A = this chain, B = another copy of it.
Amino acid sequence: MPELRKDPILGRWIIIARERSKRPTDFPVDTSVTGGGFCPLCPENEKTTPNEVLVYGREPHQPANSSGWKLRVVPNKYPALVIEGELDKQGEGLYDRMNGIGAHEVVIESPNHADQFAFLPHEQMMLTFRAFQERIRDLSHDDRFVYVMVFKNNGKAAGASLEHTHSQLVALPVMPRMLAAELEGSKSYYTYKDRCVFCDIIRQEIQQNIRLVCENERFVTLAPFAPRTPFEMWILPKKHNSSYVSQNEASLADLTRIFSETLRRLDACIPGIPYNFVLHTQPLQSGALDHYHWHFEIVPKLTNIAGFEWGTGFYINPMPPEDACRYLRQVEL
């Protein structure tokens, strides 16, 4: 019997269609890559990107945009939004528009072209999570922006147009719809219960222990109750906190550990699986929120899934999260 499940935050309904259930190896994966030829993100090619806005690991006496770095953040050469100008909000009859002001940056997570994010050494991966903090903090000083979207497209099927491992930041002048809905949903839960819905979820998941993929001192990885795709996972801090930026070094280290473990478990289930991850954190100009809880969502991109989901917001998922969780836990790392 298939099952309908409602995400308690967004009110989004999901069909768990057990009858369509598959083993991980039944999913076809396009492991072809985009690369070959010239890579603008590789060392020695620094001059082909716009000037870096953050760098880690280069000797202080070396010039900017030279090699010898461990991580670079550069503006996207083909930005979806541009940094200079005014919003200039206007109407056109019944429509509303404004200029596409924003920042669009690329985090080059390693100098080595062949590295995969999931398998970066601890110190190297941690630089990425630190760079996210530092860039969000910097962009928050620009009061045209209300939110910084941090995400990674890993693999061609998940939208990556360059093979070299990287993630992206987009600073936005309007709130993305998904986050607005999440803030609204968690606020209304808080108003009713006087508790954070994410804290309640973490408490219930640790107790039930059927969708808990892994944990360490400060973090948990869950297969969410109403996942959009097979192997969707959320990584959340155990202690209530609405701001990614406010994390200390110990928390960043624990985040890096659980992120690495989570992605390696996923990759062991479906080698080369394409995925997106998205950081969900409080809006730039808001203070600490009692009802919101920052986290990462990891959404694998499996071909031949999706279809009408896209146009309707109604997802059909062939794999119950409890099954996905079992596969993920069985992995020996």
Interface, chain A (partner B; CB < 8 A): 1-6, 8, 10-13, 15-17, 19-20, 78-82, 85, 92-100, 149, 151, 153, 156, 158-161, 168, 170, 172-174, 176-179, 181, 197, 200-201, 204, 208, 225-226, 276, 278, 297, 299, 304-308, 310-314, 316
A158 touches B99 (CB 8 A): no
Q: With A4-B174, A100-B1, A314-B177 in contact, is A168–B299 under 8 Å at CB?
A: no
Minimum CB–CB distance from A330 to chain B (whole Å) comes to 24
Expressed in whole angstroms, the minimum distance between the Cβ of A210 and any Cβ of chain B is 10
For this complex, 29 residue pairs linking A to B, each with C-beta atoms less than 8 Å apart, are A1-B85, A2-B82, A2-B100, A3-B98, A4-B97, A5-B96, A6-B95, A11-B177, A13-B174, A13-B177, A15-B81, A94-B200, A94-B204, A95-B225, A149-B312, A149-B314, A151-B311, A156-B304, A158-B307, A159-B306, A159-B307, A177-B312, A177-B314, A178-B312, A179-B312, A278-B308, A299-B310, A299-B311, A310-B310
A249 CB to nearest chain B CB (Å):
28
Q: Contact partner of A93 among B149, B173, B179, B208, CB < 8 A? A: B208
Look across to chain B and name the residue whose beta carbon is closest to the beta carbon of A232. Answer: B311
Do A276 and B93 touch across chains, with their CB atoms under 8 A apart? Answer: no
Contact status of A313 and B4, CB under 8 A, knowing A78-B19, A93-B204: no
Report Cα–Cα, A313/B177, bound state, in Å.
Answer: 5
Across the interface, do B20 and A78 meet the contact criterion of CB distance under 8 Å? yes
- Chain B residue contacts of A201, Cβ below 8 A: 94
| 8 residue pairs, one from A and one from B, having the closest CB atoms | A159-B307, A2-B100, A177-B313, A178-B313, A176-B314, A151-B308, A278-B311, A153-B307
CB atoms of B100 and A170 under 8 A apart: no
Given the complex, which residues of B lie within 8 Å of A11, measured CB to CB? 177
Give the copy number.
Answer: 2
CA distance A198 to B4 in the complex (A): 32
Apart from A2-B81, A159-B306, A278-B312, list 9 A-B contacts with CB within 8 A: A6-B95, A13-B177, A94-B204, A149-B312, A176-B314, A276-B311, A278-B311, A297-B311, A299-B310
Contact A308 B2 (CB under 8 A): no
Q: Which residues of B lie under 8 Å from residue A310 when comparing CB positions?
A: 276, 299, 310
Measured CB to CB, the closest approach of chain B to A173, in angstroms, equals: 7
A120 CA to B201 CA, complexed, in Å: 51
Task: List chain B residues, Cβ under 8 A from A3.
Answer: 97-100
Bound complex: CA A26 to CA B5 (Å): 40
What residue of chain B has the Cβ atom nearest to residue A150's Cβ? B308
Instruction: From B170, B172, B278, B304, give the contact of A159 (CB < 8 A).
Output: B304
A97 with B314, Cβ < 8 A, contacts A82-B1, A170-B308 known:
no
Q: How far is it, in angstroms, between the C-alpha of A179 and the C-alpha of B313 when the chains are bound?
A: 9
- Choose among B81, B156, B197, B308 the residue that contacts A153 (Cβ–Cβ < 8 A): B308
Chain B nearest CB, measured from A279 CB (Å): 10
Chain B minimum-CB-distance residue to A97 = B5
Q: Are A178 and B1 in contact (CB under 8 A)?
A: no
A262→B282 CA distance, assembly (Å): 43
CB distance from A18 to the nearest CB of B (A): 9
